[in-house]
Structure 1
């Protein structure tokens, strides 16, 4: 059954933590992010406040570095 990922504007660190958890869960499956999740996370990243963007990218870099390539255009590159 297909999941529906909703694009939301992150309003708090908890929203960022939830996004990181979602990414970690999908990456653990070994197939990377689904296109739906990738697009939703990229859109949320585009519309997030700067401090939440930085927090998100820092968390991805620290906890799921193999997912960084999904967010390189948003400052996630090395």
Structure 2
């Protein structure tokens, strides 16, 4: 799928909404999975720093993806 086709596809409101929901679910799932891995395998105080960084990275990535999706859907 090239840029033009993706822009047209995301221009449909239903597709843009579904893409935003997919991004939310994917980044939430990633955050939960990485948090469990950090809690299981890091046995020091740095575990809290790693978990906080994972949460921050997932929120930032999700927000960037949602913003990009909305910009493509609205502006084209």
TM superposition score normalised by structure 2: 0.32
The one of the two structures with greater contact order (alpha-carbon pairs below 8 A, sep at least 6) is 2
Q: Please say which structure displays the higher CA radius of gyration.
A: 2
